[in-house]
Structure 1
């Protein structure tokens, strides 16, 4: 198999895995296995830019958006954080950062919650739209669902810009996930597979 065929094979595999994960809610490989395949593809594409494809999984953030909600184009692209599984990756990243920044660099580290990435748009302090990341360029309008989350303010107090966006993760704690599944099983419904996709 030549390089071009290997790249095409990895793209096809990753696209199918993305579809299974994001659309069907039925992961077919582990996150780690997916990340390793994605990293291999990224390295091959970097070495062979002549095979660039704008639809490659390395260009797109997630999977297709589902068809249960209205599709909305993001005003500003929603990026995703890259994963790292080695000390060398982090060292390479730090070298790139230091080339871009004049002076000393300080870091703040925090836990990353693994949930559903969300973009909430407020106008005049009022929540007007909540959109999933989707593929980074467009996502699902899930405003009605997000408005049921008690910790999400529908109306902000005090002085805020006329229009702004808040981006973060919608998470479902494991206790709540387990309770939901117990209730679903009791009424004869299929339990959810994982808290992230359920959120």
Structure 2
């Protein structure tokens, strides 16, 4: 039987490895739900046994997709990640917090599908795209402007004149399923490792050092 300290240390090692596989290699070996369950277990143990606190625990950091081959840019506003849950009780608790915060005012919840891609910050000045930055560690990310310019659904020059002189817009870069399937088929024929899913294929493509490769892969946003 593992002691609480041994279990905490094991979970930290395993989560560090999974974080590296997901954010750096873009090749996860477990699904998101399993990762989240491990993280929640570690959080619970750390709360129960605060004497084993470690400032470098996976619970103390945001997943990092920074690539040292790119220059890093500090975000004007932090790029936060979404929370998730697999529990009806947690959804109910969220609803009650909203209701309490609005002090009885009527409200509605809207549910929508989430694009599973990689977050991007686009900065426009004078209607022209001047910079595209990944989420990175939430405080700063990689400047991938040249690669993003190859994505045809992202305008390089805005139309009309009803926009601010300078603004930032955030969204999701993704790889459509048809493109993903065709890419993996091509990689299989060339006996190359397959991408695990479209999200990782999109993230890996966006970090390519060759913008011609990015242009050929048909990313969308």
The more displaced of 46-55 and 20-29 is 46-55
1:98 correspondence with 2:99: yes
Contact 1:20–1:27 (Cα < 8 Å) also in 2? yes
Q: 1:48 to 1:15 in 2, by over 3 A?
A: same
Point out the more displaced range, 91-100 or 44-53.
44-53
The CA deviation at 1:87 is 0.6
Pair 71,188 (structure 1): closer, same or farther in 2 beyond 3 Å: same
- In the alignment of these two chains, the number of paired residues is 199
Structure-1 residue corresponding to 2:170 = 167
Q: Which runs of 5+ in 1 are unaligned?
A: none
Distance 1:144 1:168, change over 3 A: same
Provide the TM-score with structure 2 as the length reference: 0.79
Residue 24 (structure 1) aligns with? 25
Root mean square deviation, CA, Å: 2.3
Distance 1:64 1:119 in 2: 14
Structure 1 residues 61-100: aligned runs within 5 Å = 61-100=62-101
In 2, the alpha carbon distance for the partners of 1:45 and 1:104 equals 38
Alignment of 1:40-51 (within 5 A): 40-47=41-48
Larger mean CA deviation between 22-31 and 145-154 belongs to 22-31
Tell me if the contact between 2:27 and 2:200 (Cα under 8 Å) persists in the aligned partners.
no
CA distance in 1, matches of 2:192, 2:133: 27
Distance 2:13 2:190 in 1: 38
